[in-house]
Structures are given as structure tokens and as C-alpha cells.
Structure 1
Amino acid sequence: MSPVRSPTLPRLALLAALLTPLAALAQQPQMDLPRVRIAAGMYQIDAQVAATPQQRQVGLMFRQEMPASEGMIFVFEERSPQCFWMKNTLIPLSAAFVADDGRIVNIEDMQPQSTNNHCSREPVRYVLEMNQGWFAKKNIKPGFRLAAPFFDKAR
């Protein structure tokens, strides 16, 4: 007697084989976003712009490192309270929650692979993530104004 074969098993194996590359692809850092220069006093930041829901969702996840003068700015459609966490983010970051005119509202240090929420103290449209400690090393604190084309438009 031969064993009975289930037509479902080969289909499941095929589905798993097809989905495995997609899962691996989803865990790749996004490195090809548009970039913008942001001035923080005498310091220049080369920031990737995460402007779509998908870009904002992935953010800086899966990165092993980030150059010292680079960051990512998250641009939302409207001002609202913003909260960030670090699930699937491998490097420690500092997040500056930024008002429409470029004023830093608050800065939060965030630990890798944590689901702790870090929120803006008031509704904002922008969040700038940098390597943890970058703002402190440059003596940039809440109230400091950043300069970029989109901040100028909001004034």
C-alpha cells in the first residue's frame, strides 16, 4: 500500500518558497529614499525623507549603522501627536519632534528593538531621527530651530 498524498502539501511548500524571498526583502533597510539637506545651526544633516505611509512605517528599521551626519526625516500630512517606537530598529536613535516652523519641540532617546513609545509633547508634522546622542553632542535642545525648504514654507 502506498501512502496517500495530499494535494495541499505541495501547494503549501510552493507558497512558502514564494513567500520566503518576500519576507527577506521586507527586512532590508530602505536606502533609496529622496534626500534633503537640513541645517542645524552650523551643522548640515543629509536626511532621507520618509513621506509615504510605507516609508514612514519602515523608517530606519534593519540598518546596522548610519553615518554621523545622516538621518531620516519623517514628514506627515498634518500636524498631530506623533509617537515612535524601535521595533526592528537595530541602532540607538534620538528623535527630534519638530514643529512646522522648524522649532524642535522635544528630543527623545530611543533604545534598539524596543516597543516603548516616545511621543511629541505637542502636535507636529515632522520627526527627525539621528544617531543617539547627536543632538546632545551638538548642544541642540528643544526650542532650537532647524532650517530646510519645507520648514520655510510653513512659516
Structure 2
Amino acid sequence: MLEVASTSRQRRNGLMERDSLAPDAGMLFVYDEEQTTDHAFWMYQTRIPLDIAFLDHDGEIQSITSMAPCTREKEACPRYPAGTRFWMALEVNAGYFNEHGIAAVDRLEVDPLQHPPS
């Protein structure tokens, strides 16, 4: 099940302060315009390790990055730049993409319209 973060507030909060994420769950970050290569995610107040895939407008994975939890002070949490232009980003439990044989250039069937914001 995907949760969709399509507003600034939803994207800012992301998966912060959660103790777990169901094995087949994730959060899809959807943007109204293409994001730049230096657009970064961070794990401030995020307690679970995550992988993030950056997708183009058609759902093709441009890159995948692993992100470690960070419950320290805001300034001590690393940022994870996309390194590619993207329209959507999908956060899942760390290891999910590898366990399911999903890699860059794979295309995910993601329709944000079928997953309304919670």
C-alpha cells in the first residue's frame, strides 16, 4: 500500500517519527514539476532505514539510494541528493528494491491518481 505525499506539508513530514513500515508499504512523493539533481531528502526524526527511488514522469527509476535513520539534532542529519532529475520519489523499507530485483531503469507502474493523499 502506498501513501501519497503530494502537498508541501505531506512531503516535509514524510515518514518522520514512525517506528515501522509494513513490508509492502511505502510513501510516494509526487511533484507538480520536475525536481533538480540537487533536490535532497533527509532522515531527520526518521527512525527506520529506508531506500528511495527517484522516478521520471513515466515511472522509470533514475536512481536508488539507501538512507540511514537520524534521530540526532537537525544539523547532524545527512542529506541525500537525488543526483538526477525526477518527478516522483518512492520511499520503502531498506532492502526492498534489492529483495524484489528492482533496479535503476526499471519502470514502476505508479499512478498517483489511484492513491489519494491520506
CA contact (8 A) 2:30 2:89 kept: yes
Amino acid at match of 2:109: A
SS in 1 for 2:27: strand
Could you report, residue by residue, the CA deviation over 1:95-114 in whole angstroms, capped at 9, with x for unpaired residues? 00011011000000000016
CA distance in 2 between counterparts of 1:102 and 1:89 reads 25
The structural deviation recorded for 1:64 is: 0.3
- Name the count of aligned residue pairs: 106
Q: Does 1:141 align with 2:98?
A: no
TM-score (normalised: structure 2): 0.85
**Hey, what does 1:80 align to over in structure 2?**
35
Q: Does 1:121 align with 2:83?
A: yes
Answer 1 or 2: which has greater helix percent.
Answer: 1
CA contact (8 A) 2:4 2:112 kept: no
Give the direction of change, closer, same or farther, for the CA distance of 1:49–1:150 in structure 2 (3 Å limit): closer
In structure 2, runs of 5+ residues without a counterpart are 71-75, 114-118
Amino acid at match of 2:22: P
The structural deviation recorded for 1:117 is: 1.6
CA distance in 1 between counterparts of 2:46 and 2:56 reads 24
CA distance in 2 between counterparts of 1:122 and 1:130 reads 19
Amino acid at match of 2:89: V
CA distance in 2 between counterparts of 1:111 and 1:139 reads 21
The structural deviation recorded for 1:150 is: 4.5
SS in 1 for 2:12: helix
Q: Which has the larger radius of gyration?
A: 1
**Hey, what does 2:73 align to over in structure 1?**
none
The structural deviation recorded for 1:119 is: 1.8
- Seq. identity, %: 35
Relative contact order higher in (CA < 8 Å, ≥ 6 apart): 2
Amino acid at match of 2:105: G
**Hey, what does 1:111 align to over in structure 2?**
68
The structural deviation recorded for 1:92 is: 0.3
In structure 1, runs of 5+ residues without a counterpart are 1-45
Could you report, residue by residue, the CA deviation over 1:70-102 in whole angstroms, capped at 9, with x for unpaired residues? 000001111012310101000000000011011
CA distance in 1 between counterparts of 2:26 and 2:34 reads 21
CA distance in 1 between counterparts of 2:104 and 2:63 reads 5
The structural deviation recorded for 1:125 is: 1.2
Amino acid at match of 1:132: A
